[in-house]
A and B are shown apart, each in its own frame.
Chain A
Amino acid sequence: MVETIVFYTLSALILGLGVAVITTPNTVHSVLFLVMNFLCVAVIYVVLEAEFLAVIQVLVYAGGIVVLYLFVVMLVNLKRDPEAHQDPRRLSLVGLALAGAVLLELAGIVVYSYSREPSAPVAAAAASPVQGNVEQIGWLLYTDYLIPFEVASVLLLVAMVGAIVLAKREL
């Protein structure tokens, strides 16, 4: 019962804030709605027993990435409305309609596939020797997923170098 109430409240918040992000004309307000959206998603992670991801979501998304967005919004000191000029060949309504169609299709797939049979929990991964959410994720990252983990770190390094090269006026 509690989970039902929490889920519907959070879903309404997440979707409402998501719509607010893409409809607000003021970019700074939009960024703020995005932060609130991410915080609600973090709460949903807590409901889903993923407390490590909830904290990482707040730390990386809300505390890092979105601050970067806010910074760029302030650096990009716009003299005219960014939406002022529209390409005459742009078909926004068609895009909206197609997105609605995809939503219907996804909803159909979800309802169909989950209603056919209650899929039994597959055999859990090989019993990890540690307890607790953080420990288990750490264990998986440093055993089975060591190479993807290292690749991700290289990706971040490349992104860092690339961002500096792109943003610096002259090297």
Chain B
Amino acid sequence: MEITPAHYALLSAALFIIGVVGVLVRRNIIIIFMSIELILNAVNINLVANARHLENLVGQVFVVFVIAVAAAEAAVGLGILLAFFRNKETVNIDEMNVMRW
């Protein structure tokens, strides 16, 4: 059986949903950050698969940008996490409710 872009799209969708489930269900914020990385990777797989299918490298260029954004997100997110942990001694998002009124 030939592997079509649809196969890659389905793989991408499944990985995306795994990431979404991680964000929705887990309460450890580090795991939630990692789930976001999974989501970004799912998007990247789709972009690269279509870049090959359409014989157009623009998809790969966008993956470079996605990776740059992921790196920036990880750095700032983990910085916020460390600053929060220093004050509240927890990484459980259900306890991160100081902003809520």
Contact = CB atoms under 8 A, between A and B. Distances in A.
Interface of A: 3-4, 7, 11, 14-15, 18-19, 21-22, 27, 30-31, 34, 37-38, 41, 44-45, 48-50, 52-53, 56-57, 60-61, 64-65, 68-69, 72-73, 75-76, 78-79, 82-87, 90, 92, 95-96, 98-100, 102-103, 106-107, 110-111, 114-115, 121-122, 124-125, 128, 133, 136-137, 140-141, 144-145, 148-149, 152-153, 155-156, 158-160, 162-167, 169
Interface residues of B, number: 76
B82 A166 contact: yes
A164 B83 CA distance: 11
Interface in B1-51: 1-11, 13-22, 24-31, 33-35, 37-38, 41, 44-45, 48-49, 51
B55 A121 contact: yes
A90 B93 CA distance: 11
B101 interface: no
Give the 7 A-B CB pairs with smallest separation, nearest first. Answer: A95-B24, A159-B72, A166-B79, A22-B22, A114-B6, A87-B94, A163-B79
